[in-house]
Protein backbone atom coordinates (compact mmCIF):
# COMPACT_ATOMS: atom_id res chain seq x y z
CA UNK A 1 0.00 0.00 0.00
CA UNK A 2 1.26 3.46 -0.91
CA UNK A 3 2.43 5.69 1.91
CA UNK A 4 0.62 9.02 2.09
CA UNK A 5 2.78 12.14 2.29
CA UNK A 6 0.94 15.37 3.10
CA UNK A 7 2.80 18.55 2.20
CA UNK A 8 1.54 21.77 3.79
CA UNK A 9 2.53 24.86 1.81
CA UNK A 10 3.22 25.15 -1.88
CA UNK A 11 6.08 27.61 -1.88
CA UNK A 12 9.48 26.73 -3.28
CA UNK A 13 10.16 24.05 -0.65
CA UNK A 14 6.77 22.37 -0.82
CA UNK A 15 6.73 22.40 -4.59
CA UNK A 16 10.20 20.87 -4.76
CA UNK A 17 9.25 18.15 -2.27
CA UNK A 18 6.00 17.30 -4.09
CA UNK A 19 7.68 17.04 -7.48
CA UNK A 20 10.46 14.80 -6.14
CA UNK A 21 8.17 12.56 -4.05
CA UNK A 22 5.70 12.03 -6.90
CA UNK A 23 8.47 10.30 -8.84
CA UNK A 24 9.05 7.80 -6.02
CA UNK A 25 5.62 6.19 -5.87
CA UNK A 26 4.14 8.01 -2.87
CA UNK A 27 0.57 9.19 -2.54
CA UNK A 28 1.27 12.95 -2.33
CA UNK A 29 -1.38 15.37 -1.07
CA UNK A 30 -0.52 19.06 -1.45
CA UNK A 31 -2.29 21.48 0.89
CA UNK A 32 -2.31 25.26 0.59
CA UNK A 33 -4.66 28.13 1.40
CA UNK A 34 -4.20 29.35 -2.19
CA UNK A 35 -4.77 27.27 -5.31
CA UNK A 36 -1.58 28.52 -6.96
CA UNK A 37 2.17 28.55 -6.51
CA UNK A 38 3.45 32.11 -6.24
CA UNK A 39 6.83 33.22 -7.56
CA UNK A 40 7.50 35.65 -4.73
CA UNK A 41 10.82 37.10 -6.02
CA UNK A 42 8.88 39.03 -8.67
CA UNK A 43 6.08 40.38 -6.47
CA UNK A 44 7.77 43.77 -6.33
CA UNK A 45 7.42 44.03 -10.12
CA UNK A 46 3.66 43.56 -9.82
CA UNK A 47 3.62 46.30 -7.17
CA UNK A 48 5.58 48.65 -9.45
CA UNK A 49 3.34 48.07 -12.51
CA UNK A 50 5.89 45.94 -14.35
CA UNK A 51 4.05 42.60 -14.49
CA UNK A 52 0.50 41.29 -14.35
CA UNK A 53 -0.38 39.27 -11.26
CA UNK A 54 -1.24 36.18 -13.25
CA UNK A 55 2.19 36.00 -14.88
CA UNK A 56 3.96 35.05 -11.62
CA UNK A 57 1.44 32.47 -10.34
CA UNK A 58 0.61 28.97 -11.56
CA UNK A 59 -2.37 26.73 -10.61
CA UNK A 60 -1.32 23.88 -8.32
CA UNK A 61 -3.92 21.52 -9.77
CA UNK A 62 -2.37 22.01 -13.20
CA UNK A 63 0.91 20.79 -11.73
CA UNK A 64 -0.73 17.90 -9.85
CA UNK A 65 -2.27 16.39 -12.97
CA UNK A 66 1.20 15.96 -14.44
CA UNK A 67 2.63 14.24 -11.35
CA UNK A 68 1.69 10.61 -10.74
CA UNK A 69 -0.04 10.04 -7.41
CA UNK A 70 -0.28 13.76 -6.59
CA UNK A 71 -3.46 15.60 -5.59
CA UNK A 72 -4.36 19.00 -4.14
CA UNK A 73 -6.50 20.10 -1.20
CA UNK A 74 -7.44 23.77 -0.80
CA UNK A 75 -7.42 24.87 2.81
CA UNK A 76 -5.53 26.40 5.71
CA UNK A 77 -4.10 24.19 8.45
CA UNK A 78 -5.06 25.25 11.97
CA UNK A 79 -3.65 22.35 13.99
CA UNK A 80 -1.52 19.21 13.78
CA UNK A 81 -2.03 16.10 15.94
CA UNK A 82 1.31 14.32 15.91
CA UNK A 83 0.04 11.31 17.85
CA UNK A 84 -3.00 10.70 15.64
CA UNK A 85 -1.05 11.78 12.53
CA UNK A 86 -3.72 14.18 11.33
CA UNK A 87 -3.90 17.83 10.32
CA UNK A 88 -6.97 19.97 10.87
CA UNK A 89 -8.46 22.11 8.09
CA UNK A 90 -11.55 24.30 8.06
CA UNK A 91 -13.64 21.49 6.55
CA UNK A 92 -12.25 18.48 8.40
CA UNK A 93 -9.15 16.46 9.05
CA UNK A 94 -6.58 14.81 6.82
CA UNK A 95 -4.46 11.85 7.89
CA UNK A 96 -0.87 11.19 6.87
CA UNK A 97 1.93 8.67 7.10
CA UNK A 98 4.52 11.38 6.60
CA UNK A 99 4.06 15.12 6.97
CA UNK A 100 6.14 17.87 5.36
CA UNK A 101 5.59 21.33 6.83
CA UNK A 102 6.63 23.98 4.31
CA UNK A 103 4.43 26.73 5.69
CA UNK A 104 6.78 29.58 4.82
CA UNK A 105 7.12 32.92 6.55
CA UNK A 106 5.41 36.18 7.34
CA UNK A 107 6.72 39.71 7.65
CA UNK A 108 8.37 40.44 11.00
CA UNK A 109 7.56 43.89 12.38
CA UNK A 110 9.43 43.15 15.63
CA UNK A 111 6.42 43.89 17.80
CA UNK A 112 5.88 47.42 16.45
CA UNK A 113 2.12 47.38 16.04
CA UNK A 114 1.92 50.92 14.71
CA UNK A 115 4.39 50.08 11.95
CA UNK A 116 2.51 46.88 11.12
CA UNK A 117 -0.74 48.84 10.95
CA UNK A 118 0.56 51.50 8.57
CA UNK A 119 3.23 49.72 6.50
CA UNK A 120 2.91 47.74 3.30
CA UNK A 121 4.70 44.45 2.79
CA UNK A 122 4.91 41.92 -0.03
CA UNK A 123 4.02 38.30 0.74
CA UNK A 124 0.94 37.80 -1.47
CA UNK A 125 -0.64 38.75 -4.78
CA UNK A 126 -3.32 40.74 -2.99
CA UNK A 127 -0.67 42.82 -1.19
CA UNK A 128 1.17 43.55 -4.44
CA UNK A 129 -2.04 44.76 -6.09
CA UNK A 130 -2.90 46.86 -3.03
CA UNK A 131 0.55 48.48 -3.05
CA UNK A 132 0.36 49.22 -6.78
CA UNK A 133 -3.06 50.82 -6.28
CA UNK A 134 -1.72 52.89 -3.42
CA UNK A 135 1.33 54.15 -5.34
CA UNK A 136 -0.78 55.23 -8.31
CA UNK A 137 -3.38 56.86 -6.03
CA UNK A 138 -0.62 58.94 -4.38
CA UNK A 139 0.31 60.35 -7.79
CA UNK A 140 -3.35 61.02 -8.58
CA UNK A 141 -3.77 62.92 -5.31
CA UNK A 142 -0.48 64.79 -5.69
CA UNK A 143 -1.37 65.91 -9.22
CA UNK A 144 -4.20 68.04 -7.83
CA UNK A 145 -2.82 68.87 -4.37
CA UNK A 146 -2.14 72.60 -3.91
CA UNK A 147 -0.50 72.45 -0.49
CA UNK A 148 3.26 72.03 -1.06
CA UNK A 149 3.94 70.23 2.23
CA UNK A 150 1.16 67.69 1.74
CA UNK A 151 2.11 67.23 -1.92
CA UNK A 152 5.69 66.44 -0.88
CA UNK A 153 4.48 63.85 1.64
CA UNK A 154 2.29 62.20 -1.00
CA UNK A 155 5.30 61.87 -3.30
CA UNK A 156 7.66 60.55 -0.61
CA UNK A 157 8.12 56.78 -0.43
CA UNK A 158 10.03 55.24 2.48
CA UNK A 159 11.41 51.71 2.06
CA UNK A 160 12.75 49.97 5.16
CA UNK A 161 15.24 47.14 4.69
CA UNK A 162 18.35 47.09 2.51
CA UNK A 163 18.20 43.43 1.52
CA UNK A 164 17.42 42.21 -2.02
CA UNK A 165 13.69 43.03 -1.76
CA UNK A 166 14.27 46.57 -0.54
CA UNK A 167 16.99 47.26 -3.11
CA UNK A 168 15.00 45.83 -6.00
CA UNK A 169 11.81 47.62 -5.00
CA UNK A 170 13.62 50.95 -4.57
CA UNK A 171 15.21 50.70 -8.02
CA UNK A 172 11.98 49.65 -9.72
CA UNK A 173 9.96 52.41 -8.03
CA UNK A 174 12.54 55.04 -9.00
CA UNK A 175 12.40 53.93 -12.64
CA UNK A 176 8.59 53.82 -12.59
CA UNK A 177 8.40 57.39 -11.31
CA UNK A 178 11.13 58.76 -13.58
CA UNK A 179 10.40 57.11 -16.91
CA UNK A 180 6.70 56.25 -16.81
CA UNK A 181 4.69 58.25 -14.29
CA UNK A 182 6.51 61.46 -15.19
CA UNK A 183 4.83 61.20 -18.59
CA UNK A 184 1.44 60.22 -17.16
CA UNK A 185 1.57 63.16 -14.74
CA UNK A 186 3.34 66.02 -16.53
CA UNK A 187 2.30 68.39 -13.72
CA UNK A 188 4.61 66.47 -11.34
CA UNK A 189 8.34 67.08 -11.81
CA UNK A 190 10.66 64.07 -11.50
CA UNK A 191 12.58 65.88 -8.77
CA UNK A 192 9.43 66.05 -6.61
CA UNK A 193 9.30 62.29 -6.17
CA UNK A 194 11.42 61.24 -3.20
CA UNK A 195 12.40 57.61 -2.55
CA UNK A 196 14.19 56.89 0.73
CA UNK A 197 15.79 53.51 1.48
CA UNK A 198 16.36 52.97 5.20
CA UNK A 199 18.79 50.34 6.53
CA UNK A 200 19.70 49.65 10.16
CA UNK A 201 23.15 48.29 9.21
CA UNK A 202 25.93 50.32 7.63
CA UNK A 203 25.58 48.78 4.16
CA UNK A 204 23.08 47.28 1.74
CA UNK A 205 22.92 43.59 0.78
CA UNK A 206 24.95 42.49 3.80
CA UNK A 207 25.20 38.90 2.54
CA UNK A 208 27.26 40.04 -0.45
CA UNK A 209 30.87 41.09 -0.92
CA UNK A 210 31.74 44.66 0.14
CA UNK A 211 32.42 45.90 -3.41
CA UNK A 212 29.01 44.63 -4.55
CA UNK A 213 27.34 46.41 -1.65
CA UNK A 214 29.15 49.61 -2.58
CA UNK A 215 28.16 49.20 -6.23
CA UNK A 216 24.49 48.78 -5.32
CA UNK A 217 24.51 51.86 -3.08
CA UNK A 218 26.35 53.94 -5.69
CA UNK A 219 23.97 52.86 -8.45
CA UNK A 220 20.85 53.61 -6.41
CA UNK A 221 22.14 57.03 -5.42
CA UNK A 222 22.89 57.83 -9.08
CA UNK A 223 19.29 56.87 -9.86
CA UNK A 224 18.07 59.37 -7.28
CA UNK A 225 17.35 57.08 -4.33
CA UNK A 226 18.27 58.48 -0.91
CA UNK A 227 19.91 55.93 1.41
CA UNK A 228 19.93 56.24 5.20
CA UNK A 229 22.38 53.83 6.87
CA UNK A 230 22.49 52.97 10.59
CA UNK A 231 18.91 54.20 10.92
CA UNK A 232 16.16 52.37 12.80
CA UNK A 233 12.41 52.88 12.52
CA UNK A 234 10.66 52.92 15.90
CA UNK A 235 7.16 54.17 15.10
CA UNK A 236 4.84 55.20 12.29
CA UNK A 237 1.55 56.93 11.64
CA UNK A 238 -0.48 57.20 8.46
CA UNK A 239 1.56 60.27 7.47
CA UNK A 240 4.87 59.98 9.35
CA UNK A 241 7.79 57.59 9.91
CA UNK A 242 9.79 58.11 13.11
CA UNK A 243 13.37 57.01 13.71
CA UNK A 244 15.35 56.07 16.81
CA UNK A 245 17.47 59.23 16.68
CA UNK A 246 14.35 61.38 16.99
CA UNK A 247 14.14 62.42 13.35
CA UNK A 248 11.18 61.69 11.09
CA UNK A 249 10.00 61.75 7.48
CA UNK A 250 6.55 62.87 6.34
CA UNK A 251 5.20 60.21 3.99
CA UNK A 252 1.97 58.44 3.11
CA UNK A 253 3.80 55.30 1.94
CA UNK A 254 5.90 53.05 4.15
CA UNK A 255 7.13 49.77 2.65
CA UNK A 256 8.58 47.21 5.10
CA UNK A 257 11.12 44.57 4.05
CA UNK A 258 13.29 44.57 7.17
CA UNK A 259 12.65 41.08 8.47
CA UNK A 260 10.70 37.84 8.30
CA UNK A 261 9.47 35.31 10.83
CA UNK A 262 8.05 31.81 10.45
CA UNK A 263 4.35 31.46 9.70
CA UNK A 264 2.02 31.59 12.69
CA UNK A 265 1.26 27.85 12.62
CA UNK A 266 4.71 27.01 13.98
CA UNK A 267 3.84 28.54 17.34
CA UNK A 268 0.77 26.31 17.75
CA UNK A 269 2.48 22.94 17.51
CA UNK A 270 4.08 22.64 20.93
CA UNK A 271 7.57 22.04 19.56
CA UNK A 272 10.92 23.73 20.21
CA UNK A 273 11.34 27.02 18.39
CA UNK A 274 14.42 28.96 17.39
CA UNK A 275 14.81 32.58 16.31
CA UNK A 276 11.94 34.10 14.38
CA UNK A 277 9.54 31.38 15.52
CA UNK A 278 11.24 28.76 13.35
CA UNK A 279 10.96 25.09 14.33
CA UNK A 280 14.16 23.46 15.55
CA UNK A 281 14.83 20.41 13.39
CA UNK A 282 17.15 17.43 13.44
CA UNK A 283 19.98 17.11 10.88
CA UNK A 284 17.58 15.19 8.60
CA UNK A 285 15.01 18.05 8.88
CA UNK A 286 12.63 16.00 11.03
CA UNK A 287 11.15 17.14 14.36
CA UNK A 288 12.74 15.59 17.45
CA UNK A 289 10.57 12.73 18.65
CA UNK A 290 8.56 12.71 15.42
CA UNK A 291 10.74 11.27 12.64
CA UNK A 292 7.72 11.11 10.33
CA UNK A 293 7.34 14.92 10.37
CA UNK A 294 9.71 17.11 8.36
CA UNK A 295 9.98 20.89 8.37
CA UNK A 296 11.57 22.70 5.44
CA UNK A 297 12.06 26.20 4.11
CA UNK A 298 11.52 29.37 6.13
CA UNK A 299 9.77 27.47 8.93
CA UNK A 300 12.81 25.30 9.70
CA UNK A 301 15.71 26.32 11.94
CA UNK A 302 18.88 24.34 11.23
CA UNK A 303 22.41 25.39 11.99
CA UNK A 304 25.18 24.97 9.45
CA UNK A 305 28.76 26.06 10.10
CA UNK A 306 27.75 27.47 13.46
CA UNK A 307 24.82 29.66 12.43
CA UNK A 308 21.20 29.13 11.36
CA UNK A 309 20.58 28.86 7.64
CA UNK A 310 18.93 32.02 6.28
CA UNK A 311 15.34 32.08 5.06
CA UNK A 312 15.89 31.86 1.31
CA UNK A 313 14.12 30.16 -1.61
CA UNK A 314 17.19 28.15 -2.81
CA UNK A 315 17.54 26.59 0.64
CA UNK A 316 13.86 25.62 0.68
CA UNK A 317 14.13 24.02 -2.77
CA UNK A 318 17.17 21.97 -1.80
CA UNK A 319 15.47 20.88 1.42
CA UNK A 320 12.40 19.76 -0.51
CA UNK A 321 14.48 17.51 -2.72
CA UNK A 322 16.42 16.24 0.30
CA UNK A 323 13.25 15.12 2.09
CA UNK A 324 12.35 12.93 -0.89
CA UNK A 325 15.80 11.33 -0.83
CA UNK A 326 15.65 10.91 2.95
CA UNK A 327 12.29 9.11 2.82
CA UNK A 328 13.52 6.85 0.05
CA UNK A 329 16.64 6.01 2.06
CA UNK A 330 14.50 5.12 5.06
CA UNK A 331 12.37 2.82 2.94
CA UNK A 332 15.56 1.02 1.95
CA UNK A 333 16.70 0.76 5.57
CA UNK A 334 19.44 3.34 5.15
CA UNK A 335 20.06 6.25 7.51
CA UNK A 336 20.02 9.40 5.36
CA UNK A 337 23.03 11.72 5.63
CA UNK A 338 22.43 15.11 7.29
CA UNK A 339 21.09 17.88 5.12
CA UNK A 340 23.71 20.34 3.95
CA UNK A 341 22.96 23.43 1.92
CA UNK A 342 25.10 23.97 -1.14
CA UNK A 343 25.34 27.70 -1.64
CA UNK A 344 25.16 28.54 -5.35
CA UNK A 345 25.33 32.29 -4.77
CA UNK A 346 22.98 35.24 -4.54
CA UNK A 347 21.99 38.18 -6.70
CA UNK A 348 19.85 41.29 -6.82
CA UNK A 349 18.76 43.57 -9.64
CA UNK A 350 19.06 47.30 -9.10
CA UNK A 351 17.41 48.62 -12.23
CA UNK A 352 17.36 48.39 -15.99
CA UNK A 353 20.65 46.77 -17.19
CA UNK A 354 22.13 46.70 -13.70
CA UNK A 355 22.46 44.00 -11.04
CA UNK A 356 24.94 42.42 -8.63
CA UNK A 357 25.67 38.71 -8.30
CA UNK A 358 28.06 36.27 -6.65
CA UNK A 359 28.38 32.56 -7.33
CA UNK A 360 30.99 29.89 -6.66
CA UNK A 361 33.54 32.45 -5.55
CA UNK A 362 33.01 34.78 -8.52
CA UNK A 363 31.41 38.19 -8.30
CA UNK A 364 30.14 40.42 -11.08
CA UNK A 365 27.93 43.46 -11.52
CA UNK A 366 26.32 45.61 -14.19
CA UNK A 367 24.80 44.40 -17.45
CA UNK A 368 26.17 40.83 -17.29
CA UNK A 369 24.80 40.29 -13.80
CA UNK A 370 21.46 41.71 -14.97
CA UNK A 371 21.27 39.26 -17.88
CA UNK A 372 22.08 36.34 -15.57
CA UNK A 373 19.40 37.57 -13.15
CA UNK A 374 16.84 37.67 -15.98
CA UNK A 375 17.68 34.20 -17.26
CA UNK A 376 17.64 32.54 -13.83
CA UNK A 377 14.30 34.08 -12.88
CA UNK A 378 12.81 32.97 -16.19
CA UNK A 379 14.20 29.47 -15.66
CA UNK A 380 12.62 29.05 -12.24
CA UNK A 381 9.32 30.66 -13.22
CA UNK A 382 6.69 27.95 -13.83
CA UNK A 383 4.70 27.73 -17.06
CA UNK A 384 5.53 28.56 -20.68
CA UNK A 385 2.78 31.18 -20.85
CA UNK A 386 4.10 32.91 -17.73
CA UNK A 387 7.63 32.97 -19.11
CA UNK A 388 6.37 34.37 -22.41
CA UNK A 389 4.34 37.12 -20.71
CA UNK A 390 7.25 38.10 -18.47
CA UNK A 391 9.69 38.23 -21.39
CA UNK A 392 7.28 40.38 -23.39
CA UNK A 393 6.81 42.80 -20.49
CA UNK A 394 10.52 43.01 -19.78
CA UNK A 395 11.33 43.48 -23.46
CA UNK A 396 8.68 46.16 -23.90
CA UNK A 397 9.99 48.09 -20.92
CA UNK A 398 13.63 47.69 -21.96
CA UNK A 399 13.10 49.17 -25.41
CA UNK A 400 10.32 51.69 -24.73
CA UNK A 401 10.64 52.59 -21.03
CA UNK A 402 6.95 51.82 -20.68
CA UNK A 403 4.99 49.75 -18.17
CA UNK A 404 1.50 48.77 -19.22
CA UNK A 405 0.04 47.52 -15.94
CA UNK A 406 -0.79 50.95 -14.49
CA UNK A 407 -4.26 49.98 -13.35
CA UNK A 408 -5.99 51.16 -10.18
CA UNK A 409 -8.18 48.13 -9.58
CA UNK A 410 -9.43 49.02 -6.10
CA UNK A 411 -9.12 51.55 -3.34
CA UNK A 412 -6.10 51.39 -1.05
CA UNK A 413 -6.93 50.24 2.47
CA UNK A 414 -3.84 51.83 4.06
Active site residues: 168
What is the SS3 assignment for 356?
strand
Our CA angle for 20, 309, 124, nearest 5°, is 65
Orientation of helix 164-175 relative to helix 210-223, angle to 10°: 20
Strand arrangement, sheet containing 98-101: 70-74, 27-32, 4-8, 98-101, 290-295, 286-287
49: Cα within 13 Å, side-chain hemisphere: 24
Positive or negative CA dihedral for 174, 176, 181, 186? positive
C-alpha separations of 102 from 89, 99, 226, 237, 313 in Å: 16, 10, 37, 34, 11
What is the SS3 assignment for 165?
helix
Our CA angle for 125, 198, 50, nearest 5°, is 35
Which residues touch 370 (CB under 8 Å, ≥6 apart)? 349, 352, 353, 354, 355
Amino acid sequence: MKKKVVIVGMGFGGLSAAKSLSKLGYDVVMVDKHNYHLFQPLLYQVATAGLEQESIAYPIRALARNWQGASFRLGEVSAVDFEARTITLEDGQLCYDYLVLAVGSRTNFFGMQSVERHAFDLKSLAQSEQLRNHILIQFEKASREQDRVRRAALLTFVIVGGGPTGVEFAGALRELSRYVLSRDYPEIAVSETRIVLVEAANSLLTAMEPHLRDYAAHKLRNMGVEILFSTQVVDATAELVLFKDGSSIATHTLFWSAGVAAAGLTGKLGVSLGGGGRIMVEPDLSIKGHPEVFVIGDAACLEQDGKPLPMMAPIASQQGRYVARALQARQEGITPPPFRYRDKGCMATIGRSSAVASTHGYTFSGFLAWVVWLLLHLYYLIGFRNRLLVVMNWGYYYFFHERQVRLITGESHK
